[in-house]
Amino acid sequence: MISKREARRETLRIALLEAAKARVAESGLARLRARDIAKDAGCALGALYNVYKSLDDLILHINSATLAQLNTKLNHAAANADTPQEKLVALARQYMTFAIDNNYLWSALFDHTMPENAPLPQWHLDEQAILFGHVVDPLAALKPDLDAAGLHTAARTLFAAVHGIVSISLREGSTTIPRETLDAQLTEFIITQVNGMKYACGEHQI
Amino acid sequence: MISKREARRETLRIALLEAAKARVAESGLARLRARDIAKDAGCALGALYNVYKSLDDLILHINSATLAQLNTKLNHAAANADTPQEKLVALARQYMTFAIDNNYLWSALFDHTMPENAPLPQWHLDEQAILFGHVVDPLAALKPDLDAAGLHTAARTLFAAVHGIVSISLREGSTTIPRETLDAQLTEFIITQVNGMKYACGEHQI
DNA sequence: CTCATTTGTGAACAGTGTTCAAGTCATCAT
DNA sequence: ATGATGACTTGAACACTGTTCACAAATGAG
């Protein structure tokens, strides 16, 4: 049996991932150090490179875990809302909440860049694309004239807009905008956007 | 006179800044190296630290120059449009164009983080705030009920939304979205947002 | 038990930003 | 003009990265 070796390897893999996640959550991606991770995981420096191809590879797995966590939260948010507009508001507010509660891990999703401009692996791009998917269903109800492709890009645009609002607000530090203000801005933004869609569909002619 | 010393110092200051800007524009912030800059500027490594406090300080000045450049472009865009809606569309499209044409320099504006989470100096925060200002005037015409403070946060929100759309589109590389699609999405987004504002103001009751 | 293979170890390597003792040069009082 | 003074320049050295690698230890098969 080779299970004992694989078990050890898998244990170390998880220990390193958890140690790295904790480091990032505590002090951010910029202060992540290979030696710190190895020490926290209780292994030698070189062992890290037997399990992960590089630090960037490990960070990719951190981000993968963060995306899965965020994904679960967004699923709940959409499920607990009724109308399409309420779903979009709930998704945006949940996104904001996650970004605030997991500031460093969330930032790592966008701060991390591959060396030499190497493209991100496909499996990770797929994970990112899932996020946009949450917006598709509510949007389909609001823009019934769009085909699948148009719906996808529209969902991505709306998602990106919300991301930008949250991103710029959090980047400037907590000194600038209190959370309630950001929350209100985000909600009003979504409602305005939805109203604009209704306007375009001719409902304003009633 | 101490002019010769100061002239030399100023010449070196500019040479270092230009060399660093060229390096960033060519290969991005992540590949910026103090030794490369010094070599390009024709001085020794240590001389860089007589003129700039650190590499981060130099990068701050790069970003300052980029912000000024972007600011000029946005001024032109707003001046050449008539209605508030057209101004907002023109601003968004010019923002996109600048981001595409100056990809690495534009990315550096947001990729750069101070070490130890030190706050950005006030003079640089002020420069960033000017960007939001472009949105204020057109927005004031569309939301006449807002006071100055509300107008400022609303302008920031709209700017952030546009930034997010451009940012996420460019981050994934040119493989995903062609420029025309992004342009169309951006324009439609602004129009939808403006329609939503009109809707809220009751114009739809006509 | 023996041996081949995989895995763990931490010193060594190449490459960072930053500093600093020593040499060099511009400035200015004499 | 000349020497003294103080700022500037220099590039070697330092502290700290991620990554590699020869060697040691542990594991699995015969």
| Contact present, B197 and A192 (Cβ < 8 Å) | yes
pLDDT tens per residue, range A177-191: 889 999 999 999 999
DSSP state of B52: S
Q: What is the pLDDT of residue B117?
A: 78
Q: Is the pLDDT of residue A1 over 60?
A: no
Same domain, A88 and A36: no
Q: How confident is the model at residue B206 (pLDDT cuts 50, 70, 90)?
A: very low
Same domain, B66 and B134: yes
Q: What is the pLDDT of residue B205?
A: 46
Domain boundary among B9, B26, B52: B52
> Does the residue A180 lie in any domain?
yes
User: For position A68, which CATH number holds?
Assistant: 1.10.357.10
Q: What is the pLDDT of residue A206?
A: 40
| Contact present, B168 and A160 (Cβ < 8 Å) | yes
Contacts 24+ apart (CB under 8 A), A104-108: A104/A24, A104/A25, A104/A26, A104/A27, A104/A28, A104/A29, A105/A21, A105/A24, A105/A25, A105/A62, A105/A66, A106/A66, A106/A70, A107/A28, A107/A29, A107/A170, A108/A24, A108/A28, A108/A29, A108/A59, A108/A62, A108/A63, A108/A66
d(CA A201, CA A84): 15
Q: Which of the pair, B40 or A175, is modelled with greater confidence?
A: B40
Mean pLDDT over B31-54 rounds to 96
In percent, how much of chain B has pLDDT > 90? Answer: 83
pLDDT tens per residue, range B60-91: 999 999 999 999 999 999 999 999 999 999 99
Instruction: Show which positions of strand C are touched by protein (CB under 7 A).
Output: 6-12, 15-21, 26-28
In percent, how much of chain A has pLDDT > 90? Answer: 83
Same domain, B30 and B97: no
| Contact present, B139 and B155 (Cβ < 8 Å) | yes
Instruction: Show which positions of strand D are touched by protein (CB under 7 A).
Output: 7-13, 16-22, 27-29
Q: What is the pLDDT of residue A205?
A: 46
Q: Is the pLDDT of residue B93 over 50?
A: yes
Q: What is the pLDDT of residue A178?
A: 87
B196–A200 CB contact, under 8 Å:
no
Same domain, B60 and B22: no
Same domain, B114 and B188: yes
Q: Is the pLDDT of residue B175 over 70?
A: no
The nearest alpha carbon in chain A to B122 belongs to: A172
The alpha carbon of residue A38 and the mean position of all alpha carbons in its chain are separated, in whole angstroms, by 26
A172–B125 CB contact, under 8 Å:
yes
User: For position B47, which CATH number holds?
Assistant: 1.10.10
Same domain, B42 and B77: no
Q: Is the pLDDT of residue A203 over 70?
A: no
Q: Which of the pair, A177 or B40, is modelled with greater confidence?
A: B40
d(CA A149, CA A135): 13
d(CA B156, CA A72): 29
Total domains in chain A come to 2
Q: How confident is the model at residue A174 (pLDDT cuts 50, 70, 90)?
A: low
Same domain, A67 and A108: yes
Same domain, A124 and A76: yes
Query: What residues in B contact A117, CB-CB < 8 Å?
Result: 28
pLDDT tens per residue, range A101-148: 999 999 999 999 998 878 899 999 999 999 999 999 999 999 999 999
Mean pLDDT over A50-76 rounds to 97
Q: Which helix (H) or strand (E) holds B99?
A: helix B84-101
Contacts of B31 (CB under 8 A, 6+ apart): B23
- Find the nucleotide nearest A5 (Cα to C1′): D27
> Does the residue A57 lie in any domain?
no
Question: Two tokens at A135?
Answer: 């917006």
Same domain, B73 and B156: yes
Contacts of A130 (CB under 8 A, 6+ apart): A67, A71
What's the Å distance between residue A108 CA and nucleotide D16 C1'? 22
* Containing structural domain, residue A11: 1-52
Q: Is the pLDDT of residue B174 over 60?
A: no
Q: What is the pLDDT of residue A12?
A: 95
In percent, how much of chain A has pLDDT > 70? Answer: 95
pLDDT tens per residue, range B123-165: 999 999 999 999 999 999 999 999 999 999 999 999 999 999 9
Same domain, B170 and B192: yes
Same domain, B47 and B139: no
pLDDT tens per residue, range B15-29: 999 999 999 999 999
Q: Is the pLDDT of residue B115 over 90?
A: no
Domain boundary among B31, B52, B73: B52
Q: Is the pLDDT of residue B171 over 90?
A: no
> Does the residue A79 lie in any domain?
yes
Average pLDDT across chain B, whole number: 92
| Contact present, B162 and A157 (Cβ < 8 Å) | no
d(CA B2, CA B17): 23
Residue B118 Cβ < 7 Å to strand C: no
Q: Is the pLDDT of residue B198 over 90?
A: no
Q: Residue B124: which of B34, B56, B170 has the closest Cα?
A: B56
A153–B197 CB contact, under 8 Å:
no
Same domain, B41 and B134: no
> Does the residue A136 lie in any domain?
yes
Question: Two tokens at B125?
Answer: 């925060």
Q: How confident is the model at residue B100 (pLDDT cuts 50, 70, 90)?
A: very high
Question: Two tokens at A129?
Answer: 């694309």
